[in-house]
Structure 1
Amino acid sequence: MEKVKIHLLPAVLAAGIMSFSGVLIETAMNVTFPTLTSEFNISTSMVQWVTTIYLLVISIMVPFSNYLIKNFSIRKLFMIANFFFIAGLITDFISPTFFVLLLGRILQGISTGIALPLMFHIILTFTPLEKRGGMMGVGMLTTSIAPAVGPTYGGLLTSVLSWHYIFLFLIPILLLSLVLGLYAIPEISVEKNSKLDITSLLGIALLFSGLLVFLNQMGSIKSLFPLFIGMIGLVIFLQRSVKSPFPLVKIDVLKDKAFVLFLCGFLVCQFLLLGISFVLPNFVQIVSEENAFIAGLVMLPGATVGAILAPVSGRVLDKYGAKKPILIGLILAAIGWIALTLLLKQPSLASFVAGHVFYMIGLGFAYSNMMTSGMNLLTQEEYGDGNTLFNTLQQFSGAVATSIVASVINIFQENNTDYQLGTTIGAQVAMFILLTLLLIIIIACIIHFRPAKNN
């Protein structure tokens, strides 16, 4: 690799700001759905496309970025991603129709789909191994606080000004990202060593578009067709990953059982993060009868603690190895999650904040270290493929978690004459389902770390 100076921390922050902004808008727009439904005279199922189209574009762009990073300089990719994001913000700020709004979301999805893997590529390529945990924590910090800040940010602007300003106020932040990136990221020539496998890209597009539409229509007979399309896409992708000389993603990295464990643990953490981001704000509004702004504020202290702990936990990993921060973090997260589940029976805002903070302390120690530990098992040639798997599945798992939680709660709401009681029972059942996944990962990690290893 060409030896040029990169200013690592500002480079990571520059790409991280775009990733943060993407997640912020995703969660901020959720509280605007009733307003958008009324303003554009559209159905509830239609308004969901504000999020669905964004996640779909990211799910396709992240694997595509694996090819882009191998064939274009990181400086060029950063500038392209920044341009698309700013263009998307301007488009959505002025959007006169719902379909123009969706166009802006597509542009933002293209940007986030490049920026997210680019950030981790910079970390993995330029950070010394002994400092990688701390820098991965910095990268995770830029995105982990966004899901909780988003509802507060979106609710405040929508009630005081208009949902359009959600996009306007982010333009200066993206311009700051651009300035940081132009200063920190040098032009590094890339030796083009791969070709684009169009068939693999088509398979991924069919896979994620089919599955996301299936999740949006889950419970309806209409959902079977998009599920079928998604399965066809999966078959195409798997065949090409084996037969193509230049597969979009090499799935050979999944032969390493330890890598698969850390990948699954990371995705379960993402399930919990997005699941609670849906359960608590809705519970606070429906059962505790507070407004969207208060519901967002309930999430803020825990998210702040989790974000602050991400780089701290990374430094703990660098110093002591993966075993202690991951196991301690998962166990603390489980205790906090059980407390939150039980507190739904006797709700109070103070108890929710305390339970969520305790849970986020645990998640803060485990979440980013799962990804760091998994990526540390790979060779430098495999970084792109591992990075793609982590980031693609992270985005998709968020959609899966939200759909599962929403469906479970909806079932109990519809089958109970007391809507608030149905919400409470549904929320508890949904959280017990996610708790089961967490306990499985804890047991698997205990078994993995049990042999004497240098960690």
Structure 2
Amino acid sequence: MSITKEQSTAIPRRVIGAVVATGIMSFCGVIVETAMNITFPALMSHFGIGTSSVQWMTTLYLLVVASITPLSAALKRRFRSRTLFLCANLLFLTGLIIDALAPVFPLLLLGRAIQGLGTSIALPLMFNIILQEVPTKRIGTMMGVGTLITAIGPAIGPTFGGLIATTIGWRFVFIILIPVLIISLVTGLACIPSVPVAANGEETGLEPLDVFLMVLGFAGLIFGISNASAGWLSWRFGGALILGIVALAAFTLRARHQAQPIIDVRLFKDRRFSLHVGAYILFEISALALSFILPNHLQLVDGCTSLQAGLVVLPGAAIGAVLAPLSGRLYDQLGPRIPIISGSCVALIGLLGFALTARRLTALAILILYIFFMLGIGLSFGNIMTNGLHRLSQEQQADGNAIFNTVQQFAAAIGSSLAATIVAAGQAAVADRRLGTVNGSQHALILLLIIGALEVLLVLAALHRSQKPQHA
């Protein structure tokens, strides 16, 4: 069977349908997250709540996704792909319906938490299907397609949210996605076979203590990072971080001595795999920090509306998303070095431009420089994950996939919180909010340039004398 997979180049229609079905769920999760950020003012007015309360729409979602995603490798070994898909889809549909009808804010939060459960199952499942079913010579292309599906969400989310909120109301962000999820459900049930993904899936157990420590650890870290503005000595930041670190340390010690841990942390013994994960984290931090800095700069400094701000960043985000499958094809044909290194360098050029022009950024400059940055993202981001996973054996790839998807959630929280904290500090330092936003944005963009340079160094180290990957 493995020989057939390595020699074949044709992707079965059933596999394409399965990837699309799971990808639609992942897409919906991302687009709701990015679209709802634009609707925060409307939510605050409708429910009579403040900024600290409405932020829980994002924080709670990230908490759930980051806590459950690490379980994906264990779930893959234990349950059939069709069962996982059905569970994820119905959870997400339930969350959408609750939010579309929610009369009070706590119910709105409940719906977002349930959507987070669906997303945390769907996203790793999509990549696991690609790694398991796609012919070896086409994995890079299909991983790019998977990246494209999820990258389209941030590309159109702000514009979609701004347009919906200003025309027919914020509830339609959820209502419009209900028929999309139904299409996903029908497609998935038709294309995902009812067979176990792994032969030993039913032999794998989930130790309650391990699950508790892992969820407590990841939830503590995400909660702490999301409350960075509260100060180092506050329980919401420092206390949550300490709790998360202690819980994850205990989980790691237990996992190192288990034959079949929930997530195999021993993979980090592979130096180049660890370098790929590190580069992936730094790229995600930069991308999410920019997604906070640029719309705020456009609105608070350049006087754009939320819809106009979304339209300015749309071309760059769309180009990066569309380029993902094309760069995956380059990876399949040329190996990892050209797309990953060139993409990292192009993204660094974009960050350099932002840092050098931070005090005189215009909408046009943001549009052009963001296109540069997202060109780099499109060329390299998905391929970094693909090449990192290809260093692992077939049996290890589910754990590697869980690691990449988990750290992506952490990096997202770090990027958003880091940018928000630095910009807020700049605003607090002066009376003029516009000037404070310019100062804070400049400091944040300089830091992102440093992060981008570190990412390039990690990529160069990871790919030093690297040959075209041999898929396990």
Do Structure 1 and Structure 2 share a fold, with TM-score over 0.5? yes
1:208-264 deviation line (CA, Å, top 9, x unaligned): 222222223323323322222212211221122123343110111101111011111
1:129 alignment partner, one of 136, 140, 156: 136
1:34 alignment partner, one of 11, 36, 41: 41
How has the CA–CA distance of structure 1 residues 454 and 396 changed in structure 2, closer, same or farther, with 3 Å as cutoff? closer
1 CA distance for matches of 2:246 and 2:420?
A: 26
2 CA distance for matches of 1:23 and 1:79?
A: 19
1 CA distance for matches of 2:70 and 2:240?
A: 21
Counterpart of 1:362? Answer: 376
Q: 8 Å contact 1:136–1:311 — kept in the other structure?
A: yes
Query: Residue 325 in 1 paired to residue 339 in 2?
Result: yes
* Paired residues for 1:57-76 under 5 Å: 57-76=64-83
2 CA distance for matches of 1:256 and 1:287?
A: 46
Counterpart of 2:8? Answer: none
The one-letter code sitting in structure 2 at the alignment partner of 1:28 is A
The one-letter code sitting in structure 2 at the alignment partner of 1:105 is R
Query: Residue 217 in 1 paired to residue 227 in 2?
Result: yes
Q: CA deviation at 1:352?
A: 1.4
1:392 alignment partner, one of 398, 406, 417: 406
Q: CA deviation at 1:409?
A: 0.6
Q: 8 Å contact 1:53–1:106 — kept in the other structure?
A: yes
How has the CA–CA distance of structure 1 residues 452 and 358 changed in structure 2, closer, same or farther, with 3 Å as cutoff? closer
1 CA distance for matches of 2:163 and 2:462?
A: 45
Q: 8 Å contact 1:6–1:185 — kept in the other structure?
A: no
Moved more, 374-383 or 195-204: 195-204
2:254 alignment partner, one of 219, 240, 249: 240
The DSSP-based 3-state class of the residue aligned with 1:162 is coil
Query: Residue 311 in 1 paired to residue 325 in 2?
Result: yes
Query: Which blocks of at least 5 consecutive residues in structure 2 are unaligned?
Result: 6-11
1:413-446 deviation line (CA, Å, top 9, x unaligned): 1002322122112112112212212211212322
1:157 alignment partner, one of 146, 159, 164: 164
Counterpart of 2:440? Answer: 426
1:90 alignment partner, one of 93, 97, 101: 97
Q: 8 Å contact 2:336–2:468 — kept in the other structure?
A: no
Moved more, 439-448 or 105-114: 439-448
Q: 8 Å contact 1:197–1:246 — kept in the other structure?
A: no
2 CA distance for matches of 1:76 and 1:217?
A: 36
* Paired residues for 1:3-402 under 5 Å: 7-189=14-196, 191=199, 192-218=202-228, 219-220=230-231, 221-222=234-235, 223-402=237-416
How has the CA–CA distance of structure 1 residues 343 and 167 changed in structure 2, closer, same or farther, with 3 Å as cutoff? same
2 CA distance for matches of 1:182 and 1:272?
A: 37
1 CA distance for matches of 2:172 and 2:466?
A: 55
The DSSP-based 3-state class of the residue aligned with 1:384 is helix
2 CA distance for matches of 1:94 and 1:448?
A: 49
1:102-146 deviation line (CA, Å, top 9, x unaligned): 111111011000000000000000112221110000000011121
Q: 8 Å contact 2:354–2:369 — kept in the other structure?
A: yes
Q: CA deviation at 1:350?
A: 2.0
1:24-51 deviation line (CA, Å, top 9, x unaligned): 1111111122222222222311211111
The one-letter code sitting in structure 1 at the alignment partner of 2:212 is L
1:270-319 deviation line (CA, Å, top 9, x unaligned): 11221111111010000001110011111110111101110000010111
Using the size of structure 1 for normalisation, the TM-score is 0.96
Q: 8 Å contact 2:23–2:122 — kept in the other structure?
A: yes
Q: CA deviation at 1:183?
A: 1.8
Q: 8 Å contact 1:147–1:274 — kept in the other structure?
A: no
The DSSP-based 3-state class of the residue aligned with 1:145 is helix
The one-letter code sitting in structure 2 at the alignment partner of 1:215 is I
2 CA distance for matches of 1:327 and 1:385?
A: 25
1 CA distance for matches of 2:24 and 2:171?
A: 20
Q: CA deviation at 1:454?
A: 4.7
1 CA distance for matches of 2:246 and 2:47?
A: 34
Using the size of structure 2 for normalisation, the TM-score is 0.93
How many pairs were matched up? 455
Query: Residue 413 in 1 paired to residue 424 in 2?
Result: no
The one-letter code sitting in structure 2 at the alignment partner of 1:209 is A
The one-letter code sitting in structure 2 at the alignment partner of 1:205 is V
Query: Which blocks of at least 5 consecutive residues in structure 1 are unaligned?
Result: none
1 CA distance for matches of 2:392 and 2:318?
A: 31
Moved over 6 A (4+): 1-6
Q: CA deviation at 1:6?
A: 6.7
1:352-388 deviation line (CA, Å, top 9, x unaligned): 1111112111111010000000000000110111011
The one-letter code sitting in structure 1 at the alignment partner of 2:344 is L
2 CA distance for matches of 1:349 and 1:445?
A: 31
Q: 8 Å contact 1:343–1:352 — kept in the other structure?
A: no
Q: 8 Å contact 1:6–1:186 — kept in the other structure?
A: no
1:76-113 deviation line (CA, Å, top 9, x unaligned): 11111111111110000000111100111111011000
Q: CA deviation at 1:452?
A: 6.8
The one-letter code sitting in structure 1 at the alignment partner of 2:329 is R
